[in-house]
């Protein structure tokens, strides 16, 4: 498998703003530099997926090729700054149970206005978790419109200074769940050491 062909890496600088990008990430990238975090995303089965990234490198989208999946399937990654390195457990619980489902419903309502159609969204699951060794929230939503149903599987990982939103979308619930798990499984997150003389409060983006 030509693993590196659709692997992407993004490096967040923890003190100074900036991002370093590598479109063809090596199979074994060098250790991250001081006060940075390296995040590498790739497709678990590269021959099945077409990959794109945004101009600024902060979004990756993987779409299953025609006939390669039993149903249409898309997995996207969005990278941003985490509000905190160490989310409070109670605050994270509230985010999972209240804030995230509310924001997903709001986005669905906005889409409904834009499409001039009726769209219903149902939260099937929304809870805290630990993914790749970091605190996270996971959400499963069912979006129904007319005779069409789409399942949206979302994981938000608070990886030190970075916040990673992974979203898997498909009309096939089992496929959406499976793709999300497989893409997270092959994602690599490497944090560099903080500066030896950095104040504790400066160890975030």
The CATH number of residue 35's host domain is: 3.40.1000.10
> Is residue 205 assigned to a domain?
no
Partners of 50 in the beta sheet? 63
How far is 119 from 108, CA to CA, in rounded Å? 7
- How many domains does the structure of the chain reveal? 1
Q: What is the pLDDT of residue 20?
A: 44
In DSSP notation, the chain reads --GGGG-EEEEEESSS--EEEESS--SSPPPPPTTEEEEEE--SSGGGEEEEE-TTSSEEEEEEPTTTSSS--EEEEEEEE-S-SS--HHHHHHIIIIIHHHHHHHHHHHHHHHHTS--EEEEEEEEEEEETTEEEEEEEEEEEETTEEEEEEEEEEEETTEEEEEEEEES-HHHHHHHHHHHHHH-EEEEPPPPTT--GGGS--
Q: Summarize pLDDT for 169-184 with one digit per residue, the tens.
A: 999 999 999 999 999 9
Does residue 204 sit within a domain?
no
Integer Cα distance of 205 and 36 in angstroms: 9
Whether residue 195 contacts residue 34, with contact meaning beta carbons closer than 8 Å, is answered with yes
Residue 112 belongs to a domain: yes
Closest CA to 53 of 79, 81, 31: 79
Q: What is the pLDDT of residues 43-84, one digit of tens each?
A: 999 999 999 988 888 899 999 999 999 999 999 999 999 999
- Considering the domain boundaries, does residue 203 fall inside one? no
Given this model, what pLDDT does residue 75 score?
Answer: 97
pTM given for the model: 0.81
Is 89 inside a domain boundary? Answer: yes
In a domain, 95, yes or no: yes
Indicate whether 202 belongs to any domain: no
Domain of 143 in residue numbering reads as: 3-196
């Amino acid at each position: 498998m030509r693993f590196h062909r659709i692997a992407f890496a993004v490096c967040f600088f923890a003190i100074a703003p900036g991002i370093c990008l590598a479109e063809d990430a090596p199979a074994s990238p060098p250790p991250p530099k001081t006060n940075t975090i390296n995040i590498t995303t790739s497709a678990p089965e590269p021959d099945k997926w077409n990959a794109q990234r945004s101009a600024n490198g902060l979004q990756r989208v993987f779409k299953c090729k025609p006939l390669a999946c039993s149903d249409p399937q898309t997995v996207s990654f969005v990278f941003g700054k985490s509000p905190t390195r160490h989310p409070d457990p109670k605050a994270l619980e509230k985010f999972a149970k209240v804030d995230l489902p509310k924001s997903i419903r709001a986005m669905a309502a906005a889409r409904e206005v834009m499409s001039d159609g009726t769209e219903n969204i149902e939260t099937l699951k929304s809870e805290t978790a630990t993914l790749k060794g970091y605190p996270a929230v996971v959400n499963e939503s069912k979006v129904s419109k007319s005779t069409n149903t789409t399942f949206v599987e979302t994981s938000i990982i608070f990886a030190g200074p970075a916040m990673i939103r992974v979203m898997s979308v498909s009309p096939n619930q089992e496929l959406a769940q499976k793709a999300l798990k497989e893409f997270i499984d092959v994602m690599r997150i490497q944090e560099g050491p903080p500066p030896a003389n950095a104040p504790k409060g400066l160890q975030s983006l």
